[in-house]
Structure 1
Amino acid sequence: MPHHASPYLAEGPRVGIRPLTREDGPEFTARARESKDLHRPWLFPPDSAEAYAVYAGRLIEDPARAGFLVCEKDDGSLAGFVNINDIVRGGFLSGALGYGAFAHAAGRGLMREGLGLVVRHAFGPMGLHRLEINVQPGNSASIALARACGFRLEGFSPEMLHIDGAWRDHQRWALTAPAGASGRPAS
């Protein structure tokens, strides 16, 4: 049987992760529109071609950002997304995670698998040492996902991020790479 190259950077039993591309816009924005009730008031992913073009451009062109799609392996459909923002190199080797499941995939464990793959990729090939997740205290699904993936609660920051017209309080969750897994600048 011929070997086919996987389209994924990493794979689990049910999902694979791959970089977000400009060509993902139509499916991404359709899934975002279908997921508004799930995402509000926590998350506002792009739901139009114009908004997606700006979003994808930032994730693709800015070296301090990386965008990943969590895809169901059986049909390649988008289950969700995980972005690493505010990537800092040097002595910090850190990034801040933002993520969301799409409604059809919510509650099925796909994002837990996908976020785990992104964490391993960040601590492996990307050479990061620390990942942070900032979550509004009322966002129980996001907090449950952070906890399920091994993140620890490090603190509370009042009025930390401006979201949906107001400064919102956030819990800060973090995870550091296992000993020997990172700590070297990526070349």
Structure 2
Amino acid sequence: MAISSYLLQGPRVAIRHVCRQDYDELTVLAQDSAEMLQRWLGARDSTEAAFESRLQRFEQPTHDGFVICLRSTGAIVGGVNINNIVRGTLQSGTLGYTAYASTTGHGYMTEGLELLIQHAFGELGLHRLEANIQPANTLSLALVKRLGFEREGYSTAFQFINGEWRDHERWAITAETAGEAAQPAGRRHLSGLQVISCHFDG
């Protein structure tokens, strides 16, 4: 993928929209990471038809999909969705993201999500992003704290995953709080990170 297609670039990673040409690479990454991610995301349909359905949803104004790539090679190291985008007086969206087993432990998701937040509050014109995370997913909770999200509440039986309704903590960041917490992308690093994932709807 040409560098010109990147929306924003940091020292090591860049973000761009997900596209049809990503199917094979994302499928391999998901298969290699299935054991790591299934606890948080549940079983996922990895067929080409399901991927096409996701892309069609991202064409709607209520959803947007991105990948985080290494600047040096273009390889995908993470995926991000902004779901349930509401305009008008709210200007909000719900953040979903996933990392992959082969690239965790380097802080790529930290740097990539910093860029995504900049894009959301800049080009997309949003004012608020919300992330819903299972309480046992401590590494994902540490990530959103590091990014400047604040805990707002607890949602009982929030999402149906692996055959049961799972509770989630509700975290959010606004354009104002993001500005207060801003640091240069890539300066923060999650040492020893093994899993970074919250619900990744789609």
Under a length normalisation based on structure 1, what TM-score does the superposition of the two structures give? 0.89
1:48, CA displacement in angstroms? 2.9
Show the counterpart of 2:61: 63
Structure-2 change in CA distance of 1:20 and 1:5 (3 Å): closer
Are 1:11 and 2:12 counterparts? Answer: no
Q: Give 1:52 deviation, angstroms.
A: 1.7
When the two structures are aligned, how many residues end up with a matched partner?
176
Aligned to 1:89: 87
Partner residue in 1 for 2:76:
78
Q: TM-score, normalised by structure 2?
A: 0.82
Which residue pairs with 1:184 in the alignment? none
Match of 2:165 in 1: 167
Question: Once the 2 structures are TM-superposed, how far is the Cα of residue 7 of structure 1 from its aligned partner?
Answer: 2.4
How far apart are 1:62 and its partner, in Å?
A: 1.8
- C-alpha separation in 2, matches of 1:118 and 1:46: 25
3-state SS, counterpart of residue 155 of structure 1: strand
Cα root mean square deviation, aligned: 1.7
Counterpart secondary structure, 1:76: coil
**What amino acid is the match of 2:66?**
F
Query: Structure 1, residues 108-152: CA drift from partner, whole Å, max 9, x if none?
Result: 100000011000000001000000000011111211111111111
Which of 96, 99, 102 does residue 97 from structure 2 map onto?
A: 99
Structure 1 unmatched runs, 5+? 182-187
**Amino acid in the other structure paired with 1:42:** W
1:127 maps to a residue whose letter is: G
Structure 2 residue runs of 5 or longer lacking an equivalent are 180-202
Alignment partners' CA distance in 2, 1:77 and 1:132: 27
Structure-to-structure mapping, 1:1-187, within 5 angstroms: 6-44=4-42, 46-59=45-58, 61-178=59-176
Over 3 Å counting, the alpha-carbon distance change for 1:111 and 1:46 in structure 2 is farther
CA distance in 1, matches of 2:97, 2:16: 14
The residue identity in structure 1 corresponding to 2:50 is A
Tell me: CA distance 1:137–1:76, structure 2 relative to 1, closer, same or farther (3 Å).
same
1:40, CA displacement in angstroms? Answer: 1.7
| Distance (Å, rounded) in 2 between the aligned partners of 1:26 and 1:57 | 17
Distance in 2, matches of 1:17 and 1:178, equals 22
Q: Deviations over 1:131-177 (max 9, x none)?
A: 00000111112111111111111111111112222211000000000
Residue deviations 1:82-125, cap 9 Å, x none?
A: 10000000000000000001111112100000011000000001
Name the amino acid aligned to 1:114: G
**Counterpart AA for 1:88:** V
Query: SS of the counterpart of 1:97?
Result: strand
